[in-house]
Amino acid sequence: MTDFPTSNSRRPKRRKPGAAGPVIGGILVFLWAFIFSIAQTFTTVTGTANMPMDMLLGIGAGLLGGLAGAFVVWLILYIVFGGRRSGRGMLVLALLAGVAVVGAVPVSGFRVLGGGMAAETDAVNAVRAQVNARRDAQVERVAAKRDALISRDFFEAGALGEPGGLARARAKLQALRALLAETEVEDERLQAQARGELGQLPVSGPRRRAAQSEFDAAVVVEREESRITAELSRMLFDEMDAQLDVLARTRWSVEYGRIMFTTAEGMTAFNTHAVRIEEISRELDGREQARQQRLAEARSRLR
């Protein structure tokens, strides 16, 4: 009996779709997502100095690019390799999307982390620069006021020997004391303002707390230095007032630009205070030089 071929026997059997297409597609998707995420380094995605927002923006941009590449590759596989007839189209799409996530998210995360940290550092340094600028302006204002008060050396022998010289010298010392107190109040205000600005920085919580802790530690040192300087300045003014007291209760005259006493007691008392004034002045000058050096070193680290 002869067997006649049926329609089913004549139809060529379709081979099961292989894995080569999806594997190649997965490799292409991974490379695309990886390269796209790295390429985002050269675009302005971050810069808000807010780490959570930067992470969201950066990872989102890298992931969207990777998923777009996965969709394009899936379309090619779906159309060219007959995925529409295999019944596995959605599974392949899900796998390619997973590959895109693996290729894009870690790279974007590390990129954004580095960019966010740099943006936070810039934001903190900007506040520090503003604080330093205000402090420099304050120093200049105080120096200008002090120079205006002592435009002429009110404590030199010739000035003291003029009519009303002692009264003018006492008034100048009183004005210098008031300027010192005013400077202390201004220091406190500037420190509070700086700390408030650090508290408002658009940076991550840990970075903000670290900046505030660093600032607070510096303020503790600065306040102690300011306290010592103010105490030395008041001691200096006290010694100068004491010299005026000596001049007020003894007889003296100005000869060849120098104060000459009629009694050894008056000269000894005056010179004792003069020696102390010289010692305090040297210590104040040394502390000011050390402070300027610390400021210069701190600012050089910000460059």
Tokens found for residue 301: 């680290």
Q: Are 269 and 239 in contact (CB under 8 A)?
A: no
Q: What is the pTM of this model?
A: 0.63
pLDDT single digits (tens) 18-76: 555 566 666 666 656 565 655 664 444 444 445 555 555 555 555 566 566 666 666 66
303 in helix, strand or coil?
coil
What are residue 260's DSSP bridge partners? 253
The helix (H) or strand (E) run that includes residue 84 is helix 83-86
pLDDT single digits (tens) 153-180: 788 888 899 999 999 999 999 999 999 9
Q: Are 236 and 275 in contact (CB under 8 A)?
A: no
pLDDT single digits (tens) 244-302: 999 999 999 999 889 999 999 999 999 999 999 999 999 999 998 888 888 777 666 65
Domain locations in the chain as residue ranges: 19-118, 150-302
Answer yes or no: is pLDDT of 106 > 70: no
151 in helix, strand or coil?
coil
Query: How many percent of the chain have pLDDT more than 90?
Result: 28
More confident residue, 220 or 7: 220
Per DSSP, 88 falls in state: -
Nearest to 245 by CA among 154, 152, 161, 167: 167
